[in-house]
Amino acid sequence: MSTSVRRNQLSGPHDPAPAAGWVDPPPRKGFFTDTSVCIGCKACEVACKEWNMLPMDGLALTGESYDNTGALGANTWRHVAFVEQGPAQAARARESGRALVSLGMPALRPASEQGYAAQPAAAVTDVAEPPDFRWLMASDVCKHCTHAACLDVCPTGALFRTEFGTVVVQDDVCNGCGYCVPACPFGVIERRESPDMTGARIAKDDGIAQKCTLCYDRLEVGEEPACAKACPTESIQFGDLDEMRRRAEERVRVLHGQGHTEARTYGADPTDGVGGTGSVFLLLDDPEVYGLPPDPVVTTHDLPDIFRKAGLAGLAMLGAAALSFLGRRS
């Protein structure tokens, strides 16, 4: 591994598959989730559970919306959020979108320092009248980050980077230590501890970290992920990640041209705190409204600097001890 790749492994820009050792990998794959056309049908949730044989989460509603799964977790790899908004909230969303200087998540460093060209902002026309009522529906999923902290902290190698640039958990290697759970800045990965549909404990996967694999087994045979295939409105699109980012930016431009200034991309900026994600979203309000962090940063970002300073501190202590010993002998 070259010096530049080693230096950028945890926080700098890189193409994740070659950095993981894959030779001549295919183009990086990813999702584009367009929340502006999501109808909340949950077909993606059902398709994901059926294909991956995931246990049920229970049938109790949260009491706040038509959401019975609540959040992403070991048993829910696709989660459809329902956010109810009135005219004041919709108007605030449009003003916040209008005030954005650039689209995508904020960057830790200027684009020029990262080697990427800054993305031009979409053209904004007149602001459309906010509706009296609206549902914001969004199908959330693992972000398959360029800089994946869950992968960085895994002590057994259970998490690995595929040739498609995605991050997958190997059930038979994971020891259930849980280091990956707090490492994820999006709160996606979780250890499975729930009973299955019959009420019996799951012997094989109980306690093992679980999350979306972007249907790695389907990608290997040229098929698209189950959630994207089942989506009736094409809210979930799948393909080469560069194309997904292009579609997201183009869709934002279309919506801005129609006066929907609240439209913005999320995860499409390769200079953000996680190096961009493999799951790009079009949102109609601030990320916090959907339960997403506004400026996520890979939790292993500062590890090289921490280890370097710890090493220097250790050397300094050894030097002081050596000087003290030599001073006593003299």
Residue with tokens 């999501």: 38
Nearest CA-CA partner of 204 in 53, 13, 15: 53
Chain position carrying tokens 């595929």: 162
Q: What pLDDT is recorded for position 280?
A: 95
Instruction: Note the pLDDT tens digit of each residue in 268-319.
Output: 988 888 888 999 999 999 999 999 998 888 877 666 656 566 677 777 788 7
- The 10s digit of each residue's pLDDT in 144-165 is 999 999 998 999 999 999 999 9
So what's the pLDDT on residue 248?
A: 95
Longest dimension (CA), the chain: 86
Q: What is the pTM of this model?
A: 0.79
Tokens of 65: 């919306």
Q: Which residues of the chain have pLDDT under 70?
A: 1-13, 58-62, 64, 101-128, 194-205, 301-310, 327-330
**Three-state helix/strand/coil letters over the chain:** CCHHHHHHCCCCCCCHHHHCCCCCCCCCEEEEEEHHHCCCCCHHHHHHHHHHCCCCCCCCCCCCCCCCCCCCCCCCCEEEEEEEECHHHHHHHHHHHHCCCCCCCCECCCHHHHCCCCCCCCCCCCCCCCCCCEEEEEEEECCCCCCCHHHHHCCCCCEEECCCCCEEECCCCCCCCCCHHHHCCCCCCEECCCCCCCCCCCCCCCCCEECCCCCHHHHCCCCCCHHHHHCCCCCEEEEEHHHHHHHHHHHHHHHHHCCCCCCEEECCCCCECCCCCCEEEEECCCHHHHCCCCCCCCCCCCHHHHHHHHHHHHHHHHHHHHHHHHHHHC
d(CA 152, CA 200): 33
Residue 278 has what pLDDT?
A: 93
Query: Pairing mode, if any, of strands 279-283 and 29-34?
Result: parallel
- What CA–CA distance (Å, rounded) separates 301 from 69? 31
